[in-house]
Amino acid sequence: MIGLDGENLSIEDVVKVSRDFENVILLENAVRKIKKSREIVENIVDQNKIVYGVNTGFGELAKEKIPYDSIDELQRNLIRSHSCGVGDSLSAEIVRAMMVLRANSLAKGYSGIRLETVNVLIGMLNKKVHPMVPEKGSIGASGDLIPLAHIALSVIGEGNVEYYNETMPTDEGFRRAGITPVKLTAKEGLALINGTQLMTAIGCLALWDAELLLKNAQIAGAMSLEALKGTDQAFRNEIHKVRPHKGQILCAKNLWRLTRESKIIASHRDCPRVQDAYTLRCMPQVFGASKDAFSFVRFILETEINSATDNPLIFPDIGESLSGGNFHGQPLALALDFLGLAIAELGNFSERRIARLVDSSLSELPPFLTEYSGLHSGFMLPQYAAASLASENKILCHPASCDSIPSSANKEDHVSMGAIAALKSLKILENVQRVISIEFMTAAQGLEFHKPLESSPGINAAYAAIREKVPKLEKDRPMYEDMERLCCLVRDGTIVQSVEQSVGKLG
């Protein structure tokens, strides 16, 4: 059970709720805060004060005063009008992450929403009722208005939901799950949709997977190093302590541990080669740079997931409603562009090692890692696939955050495009997972030509996990299924777990 109070939610908690269906509950201090902020909204309505979003229109229509008896209708109209997303539906795990993040932001007690409305959102999470949310439409201005409106649409019993893998109208899903929809009152529609929860949700899940991918990339890099008979001396601590970037030092330690007791490396200790290529020698520096980038993105996300991103914000301690711009997605947009770039570099780096492995003039291995080159093409074409993916990522790395299109009749005259940065980071991640999978498959084939010399214990563990799913290539065969099986091992952490059981947890 994950307790929400708006202050202590972690990225790990978000992953547990979104992927493992962990239940959530409002903590008692959150209940008190929600009730206190709601009292302020009700006082505003009772006293007929003019407050944006409570009794005015929205955006450029804020100058329009709404009559007392139309305030509830205003909130319903807001949700209906903003539910105009396009494209494929987001996955259930992303929608669940959005829901828990929105509930946690509301739990901070600055949104003026009713407790029963928050409880409906939490009830949907716990009973696995997932709104159908189109992936496109957010410009990251007043947060992710359109995607969040589709979630709010289900909260009021409209739109469609997924319930136990079946898509149906929300009222049917609620009936089956025993949930009663909400009739929104003052401020509540705005409280449900003003926020950065789409970009933050995707950011949390993408970062979580990227951190696992970086471990895979280091293991694959060490396996390629062995297959190419590279040296481990570039990983020595003496080198890295005089350029003390934290990520570089940690990755150098990982690579040093991964190559201990390698009979392959020991076999050419005194060979005439002076230095390895950069994709081998500079692994600590390049992997470390991505690791440091991930650390920065983690800091931004950990701050955002426990933030109030509504507008206006209700401050019970001073009895005021203040309008501001906490919904603006710029911190996320910049960080998510950076995340995509840092992930893409892992793929660029990996593809160059794959190319080196299949090039006999560089690898000193059989051409394309087959004993029968000419008659058989061996690993020629997997490198093509990796090159295609790496090149696609170069297009996807164009920053979304450098763009802005004014909206709402120029009231919202600068927008973040953070949702676009988030969505493309997912595509980059998927591409690089496949590139690393191809490197694993290629490097494992390279190791076959060094037998009976043995790899290090860590790389042996990775090799064994690979060979459980993908046999050595003896002669040409379709490899798309092999590549998909290996990609599953990369995504679910099987290879990393096998290695960490041998050498200990990687930093």
What does the pLDDT look like over 235-267, one tens digit per residue? 999 999 999 999 999 999 999 999 999 999 999
| Alpha-carbon gap, residue 272 to 270, rounded angstroms | 7
Q: Averaged over 360-367, what is the pLDDT?
A: 95
- Check whether 342 has a pLDDT greater than 90: yes
Query: pLDDT tens for residues 435-450?
Result: 999 999 999 999 999 9
Is the model's pLDDT at 66 over the cut of 80? no
Confidence of residue 61 (pLDDT cuts 50, 70, 90): low
The answer to whether domain 2-195 and domain 202-308+324-403+416-503 are alike in fold is no
Q: How far is CA 412 from the centre of its chain?
A: 27
SS3 299: helix
CA angle 84, 85, 86 (to 5 degrees): 120
Please give the pLDDT value at position 274: 67
Q: In DSSP terms, which residues pair with 182 in a beta bridge? A: none
| Fold type of domain 2-195 | Fumarase C; Chain B, domain 1 (1.10.275)
pLDDT of residue 411 exceeding 80: no
pLDDT of residue 45: 85
- Tell me how far CA of residue 263 lies from CA of 183, 231, 267, 294, 456, in angstroms: 70, 12, 6, 34, 7
CA dihedral 14, 18, 20, 22 (to 10 degrees): 70
Which of 288, 299, 277 shows the shortest CA–CA distance to 345? 288
pLDDT recorded at residue 376: 92
Q: Domain ranges in the chain?
A: 2-195, 202-308+324-403+416-503
pLDDT of residue 172: 98
Beta bridge partners of 195: 143
Upper half-sphere CA count for residue 307 (Cβ side, 13 Å): 23
pTM of model > 0.85: yes
- Asked if 52 is an active-site residue, the reply is yes
pLDDT in tens, 418-435: 999 999 999 999 999 999
Residue 174 has pLDDT above 70, yes or no: yes
Q: pLDDT grade, residue 213 (50/70/90)?
A: very high
Higher pLDDT pick, 73 / 496: 496
Please give the distance of CA 81 from its chain centroid, rounded to a whole number.
29
- Which string of b and e fits 305-318 if b means at least 16 CB within 10 Å? bbbbbbbbbbbbee
Catalytic residue among 52, 110, 163, 463: 52
Residue 59 has pLDDT above 80, yes or no: no
- At residue 413, the pLDDT reads 80
Q: Looking at residue 281, what is its pLDDT?
A: 97
The CATH architecture that domain 202-308+324-403+416-503 belongs to is: Up-down Bundle (1.20)
